[in-house]
Amino acid sequence: MKQNRFACLTGFFLLAISIVQAQPQQKLVIEQATVFLSGAELISTAKLNLNKGENEILFTNVAGDVNSQSLSVSATNGVVVASATFQNNYLATEALSPKAQQIKDSIELMTEYKQLIHNKIVVIDEQLAVLRENRKVGGAQTGLSVAELTKMLDLINTRMENYLNQKNKHETVVKKTDERITKLNKQLEEEQKKDYQPGGQLLVKFYAKEATSTSIAVNYIVPHAGWSPTYDIWADDASGPVKLYYKANIYQNSGVKWDNVRLSLSTGNPNEGVQAPVMSPWYLTFYSPQVYDYKNINNDQSRASRAYSANRYKSAESPSVASGGANMEQSSINEYVTIDNSGVNTTFDIELPYTIPSDSKQHLVAIKRFELPATYRYYSVPKLDKDVFLQAKITNWEDLNLLPGTTNIFYEGTYVGQGAIDPRNVKDTMVVSLGRDKKIVVKRVRNTKLRSVKYIGTNVRETFAYTITLRNARKEIINLTIQDQQPISNDNSIVIEEKDLGNSEYNETTGLMNWTVTLNPNESKELNFGYTVKYPKGKTVTGL
């Protein structure tokens, strides 16, 4: 009975395999990827030969976790797409990320190596056993002379020592291999916990009036992808234009490799939705304080606690809804990128093919190169930072379709650090810092000789004075912009008097003082300013 049952199960299993194998399969070729700030649209193609009537094709090389509502399948030569359904690739349920697969391969190789060493230890143990038996036989022989017996024992001991030394070395290798395998298994366990997305499949039914060939186009959106802008800013000196290299960090974990595809980078985000908000009437009412029944408050709290627990239970039960195509100079990238501003969002179409693996890592892609007019200034805020910064003031940047992103700054051919660009907070001129210039020295000190505290009636008058010393150690004339500030009072009882602005440009609203100073080589200058604060006795003013 058991044999018949086993035979039936085996037959059913083989029948299922034959059905799966009999279903025609076709690999989709990913031609293009439009990458949004969050998400990406993949465009795949295939060519088919269809029979007359209904044809069911299982497409592979399909991303996993696809937005099924975004699916679009089209066919040529009058072929009708009857239905299309994404499904899991059950043969890929044990799929590993590239890094996890690499770790697993290393474990398997080291396990095989360990087995080879273990086999050598077994052979040595057998050789040692033979030597021990021969030593017993030699010792039991009475017909051997002393010289012959000594020679045999020396030979046995020499070989035994050699074998024991080999065994110790092999056992040490096995121990280290076991330690390495243990570490790799822990690393593999951690890697498997990461969000790796295996690929899927697409089952499509076609209807053809006659046997024909057709070209298929499949479009869909995947969530596990996106790009973020980054910029390289180069200034050769403090007189020429600034070179801005617009780049993109692209990542994807769609479950399929984007192999040699055309890339389009869009500033759009399909996850934001397209429905505009609608405002409802805004009604004002008088506030009526709630009157509590303290006798029943315990019962109310108990009911509220039970309702809260029930809602939490319901919530817990509810389901939850690069490698580049060619090596090239960055100066020629403009020939391969087209910018499209005709729609709501900006799209950068890159003609060069790129390969982006499904590994969630950032892959850098060059977009555009711009050369922008700039003026330069040295700038310092000694109250906040003792150093002087060289800044480039860039104009004509408004049409570059820049997004907020990080910048890598290069000056005179040397990397000087990172910065940031946020075009949303820039008006006419974009100011980019090119680094600190240690050859210009700025020092800000409080002048203790001019500081005083006087008590007049019910008030205190406290006077502060500061000196900013400037020195140019460069070999050329520079223009240095210095910024400091006067305090501002938001309290009528705190009054700022006797402001010494030191010939600065002063803004009454913000309290900011600005100086633009010309310094000759090795020249030093001083800037002086101060103020007096009047406030009531017995009070402490914060911020002084």
CA-CA-CA-CA torsion sign (337, 339, 343, 344): positive
State residue 297's pLDDT score: 44
pLDDT of residue 194: 58
For residue 12, what pLDDT is reported?
43
The CATH-assigned architecture of domain 440-536 is Sandwich (2.60)
The reported pLDDT for the residue numbered 322 is: 60
Give me 537's structure tokens: 């006795």
pLDDT value, residue 465: 94
Instruction: Look at residue 304 in the predicted model and tell me its pLDDT.
Output: 42
Residues 351-374 pLDDT 10s: 889 999 888 889 999 888 889 899
Q: What pLDDT is attached to residue 249?
A: 94
Residue ranges of the chain with per-residue pLDDT less than 70 = 1-23, 88-98, 134-150, 152-153, 155-157, 192-198, 271-274, 284-344
Q: Residue 36 and residue 16: Cα distance in Å, rounded?
A: 41
CATH class for the region spanning 23-95+198-222: mainly beta
Residues 498-522: tens digit of each pLDDT:
888 999 999 998 999 999 999 999 9
Question: 338: which strand partners?
Answer: 349
Q: Is 357 helix (H, G, I), strand (E, B) or coil?
A: coil
Residue carrying the six token digits 């990461």 = 194
pLDDT of residue 423: 81
Which pLDDT does position 231 carry in this prediction?
Answer: 92
pLDDT at position 164 is: 82
Q: List Cβ neighbours of 134 (8 Å cut-off, separation of 6 or more).
A: 152, 156
Count of CB atoms situated within 10 Å of the CB of 411: 20
